[in-house]
């Protein structure tokens, strides 16, 4: 179904917004003139399978998505993932990172502000939370190869039954959305 403005299908008369030309502009011309920031394609991944991590080495959380981007574009990655953190001690840390295929593209620093979830309690820690994460990646692909993004996490120590569970109880699904953006 076509949009109708000023009595004409697919035409907007007198458009003069944000530096666009004044006068009649059909929707195809308008769409092709906006290139930077345009969403070219969207891919997604989801999982509800529980994954437990109790290692000091980065481990997959089970959340991933794949896209085949064109050269010269960027990928906007958005994730939403619940986790349950516990330790039989008063301090509990996890560090997480985002991977493009086998390359860490956003990894933790030693700063508490970067890619770290932290809890402090009296005797033991049990905390549930949602990790929402956004990252804009310059992927380097050329349109002929699929690129897979995934999340990984590690605990800071293995003592005192320190562990982190993602998608705990198989009831809370995790989601990843990949948007290819014209650069």
Domains along the chain with CATH numbers: 4-33 (no CATH), 39-182 (2.60.120.760)
Query: What's the CA gap between 76 and 138, in Å, rounded?
Result: 9
Q: Which residue stretches of the chain are H helix?
A: 27-33
Query: What's the CA gap between 154 and 96, in Å, rounded?
Result: 6
pLDDT at residue number 71? 94
pTM listed for this prediction: 0.73
- Of the chain, the percentage scoring pLDDT greater than 90 comes to 38
Token pair recorded at residue 48: 């509800």
Split at pLDDT 50, 70, 90, the class of 132 is: confident
Split at pLDDT 50, 70, 90, the class of 30 is: very low
* CA neighbor of 174 nearest in space, from 137, 114, 133, 119: 133
Kindly tell me if the per-residue pLDDT of 154 is higher than 90.
no
Kindly tell me if the per-residue pLDDT of 10 is higher than 50.
no
Range 64-74 average pLDDT? 96
- Backbone torsion region of residue 43, taken as left when φ is above 0, otherwise alpha when ψ lies between -120 and 50, otherwise beta: beta
Kindly tell me if the per-residue pLDDT of 76 is higher than 70.
yes
Give the largest CA-CA distance in the chain.
72
Computed over every residue of the chain, the mean pLDDT equals 76
* CA neighbor of 141 nearest in space, from 88, 92, 180, 83: 180
Kindly tell me if the per-residue pLDDT of 137 is higher than 70.
yes
């Amino acid at each position: 179904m076509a949009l109708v403005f000023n009595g004409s299908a697919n035409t907007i008369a007198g458009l003069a917004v944000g530096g666009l030309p004044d006068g009649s502009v059909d929707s195809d011309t308008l769409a092709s003139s906006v290139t930077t920031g345009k969403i070219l394609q969207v891919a997604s991944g989801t999982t509800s399978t529980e994954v437990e991590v109790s290692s000091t080495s980065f481990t997959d959380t089970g959340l991933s998505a794949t896209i085949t981007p064109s050269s010269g574009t960027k990928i906007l990655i958005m994730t939403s993932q619940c986790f349950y953190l516990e330790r039989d001690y008063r301090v509990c840390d996890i560090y997480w990172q985002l991977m493009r295929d086998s390359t860490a593209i956003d990894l933790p620093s030693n700063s508490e502000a970067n890619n770290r979830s932290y809890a402090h309690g009296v005797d033991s820690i049990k905390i549930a939370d949602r990790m929402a994460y956004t990252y804009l990646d310059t992927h380097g692909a050329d349109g002929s190869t699929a690129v897979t993004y995934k999340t990984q996490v590690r605990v800071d120590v293995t003592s005192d039954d320190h562990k982190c569970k993602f998608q705990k109880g198989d009831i809370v699904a995790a989601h990843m959305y990949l948007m290819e953006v014209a650069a």
